[in-house]
């Protein structure tokens, strides 16, 4: 038993090192002088903290950061609320064709994003919003099949007697959803919110398609601009690009750290057999 525990912990340590090494390399390289960025030494010979002040000087990183915060929070809140509404309907109501309709919703996950890219762009262009930040988050108001499935599984695990008792007391379906169902499924909501926050925060494709004004850029789109300017085809100042990458990555680490308790609980409970 002791040897098994030692082997288990050794495997965990090895996996942790494998997962942490890329970020530690990134952090180290972002603090090196230009000539030493790719020397693969674990620690810089001279610590160039000025790389992080330089990134704020050469680019409007503060504006990009604020844009990313606004877009990511709007996208995460929109998809969490809309998906929870649809999931509650599938879990709570009994109506003909419910399973077929739910299967159709799940079938949309099989549709590649490249197939709908041009039609969706034409829709936003027709309403005059193609070159704004609205398309980066407003599509989430229609829910997501993955989060609908995730939240539906959680709602199905709640005792129906609670909802029936609320109906007997005169509560509307909206009251049941807002005041009973949502508080009980907080861990699953956190999982959906954090997943979408991460997806929106790190998304580059949509900003590349829709954003033209640098003042509207998000951090990934801004990093693409920095990579073009200071990277392979630019001034060869990779320490600036890597410092910007660290600035982009650290907020997500903080979010996962703060939400890990609810995140782990949501993964565990939604993964159970219901």
CATH number for the domain harbouring residue 79: 1.10.3720.10
What range defines the domain where residue 14 resides?
Answer: 1-48
Same domain, 77 and 206: yes
> Are residues 65 and 146 located together in one domain of the fold?
yes
| Residue 69 within a domain | yes
Domain boundary at 48, 68, 85, which? 48
Residue 54 domain-assigned? no
Query: Does some domain include residue 136?
Result: yes
Task: Say what the pLDDT of residue 270 is.
Answer: 52
pLDDT for the residue numbered 271 = 46
The 3-state secondary structure of the chain reads CHHHHHHHHHHHHHHHHHHHHHHHHHHHHCCCCHHHCCCCCCCCCCCCCHHHHHHHHHCCHHHHHHHHHHHHHHHHHHHHHHHHHHHHHHHHCCCCCHHHHHHHHHHHHHCCHHHHHHHHHHHHHHCCCCCCCHHHCHHHHHCCHHHHHHHHHHHHCCCHHHHHHHHHCCCCHHHHHHHHHHHHCHHHHHHHHHHHHHHHHCCCHHHHHHCCCHHHCCHHHHHHHHHHHHCCCCCCCHHHHHHHHHHHHHHHHHHHHHHHHHHHHHHHHHCCCC
Torsion of the alpha carbons at 254, 255, 260 and 261, rounded to the nearest 10: 110
Q: Do both 105 and 207 map to the same domain? A: yes
| Residues 85 and 24 occupy one common structural domain | no
99 and 217 fall within a common domain: yes
| Inside any domain, residue 217 | yes
Same-domain check for residues 44 and 140 = no
Compute mean pLDDT per 10 residues along the chain, 274 residues long, and list them: 83 90 91 86 86 90 95 96 95 90 92 90 94 95 94 89 88 91 89 93 95 94 89 76 92 86 62 44
Q: Look up residue 157 and give its DSSP letter.
A: T
Domain count, the chain: 2
Let me know if residue 142 belongs to a domain.
yes
Residue 241 belongs to a domain: yes
- Domain membership of residue 88 (yes or no) is yes
Look at residues 48, 67, 83 and tell me which one is the last residue of a structural domain: 48
Residues 82 and 9 in one domain: no
Considering the domain architecture, whether residues 11 and 80 belong to the same structural domain is answered as no
Pair 24, 80 in one domain: no
Residue 174 belongs to some domain of the structure: yes
Does residue 82 sit in the same domain as residue 29?
no
Number of helices (H), then strands (E), in the chain? 13, 0
Q: 14 and 82 in one domain?
A: no
What is the pLDDT at residue 34? 85
Is the separation of the CB atoms in 116 and 176 below 8 Å? no
Q: Are residues 42 and 154 both part of a single domain? A: no
């Amino acid at each position: 038993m002791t040897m098994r525990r030692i082997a288990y912990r050794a495997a965990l340590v090895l996996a942790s090192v494998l997962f942490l090494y890329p970020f530690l390399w990134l952090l180290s390289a972002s603090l090196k002088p230009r000539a030493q960025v790719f020397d693969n030494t674990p620690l810089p010979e001279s610590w160039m903290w000025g790389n992080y002040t330089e990134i704020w000087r050469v680019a409007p990183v503060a504006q990009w950061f604020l844009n990313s915060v606004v877009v990511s929070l709007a996208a995460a809140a929109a998809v969490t609320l809309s998906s929870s509404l649809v999931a509650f309907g599938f879990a709570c109501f009994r109506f003909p064709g419910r399973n077929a309709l739910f299967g159709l919703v799940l079938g949309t996950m099989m549709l590649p994003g490249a197939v709908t890219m041009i039609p969706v762009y034409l829709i936003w262009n027709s309403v005059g919003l193609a070159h704004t930040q609205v398309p980066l988050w407003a599509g989430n108001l229609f829910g997501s099949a993955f989060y609908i499935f995730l939240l539906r599984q959680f709602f199905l695990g709640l005792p129906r007697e609670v909802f029936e008792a609320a109906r007997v007391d005169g509560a509307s379906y909206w009251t049941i959803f807002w005041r009973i169902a949502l508080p009980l499924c907080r861990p699953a909501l956190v999982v959906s919110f954090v997943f979408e926050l991460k997806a929106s925060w790190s998304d580059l494709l949509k900003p590349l398609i829709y954003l033209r004004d640098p003042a509207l850029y998000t951090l990934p789109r801004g990093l693409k601009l920095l990579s073009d300017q200071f990277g392979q085809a630019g001034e060869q100042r990779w320490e600036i690009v890597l410092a910007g990458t660290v600035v982009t990555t650290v907020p997500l680490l903080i979010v996962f750290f703060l939400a890990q308790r609810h995140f782990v609980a949501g993964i565990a409970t939604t993964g159970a057999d219901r």
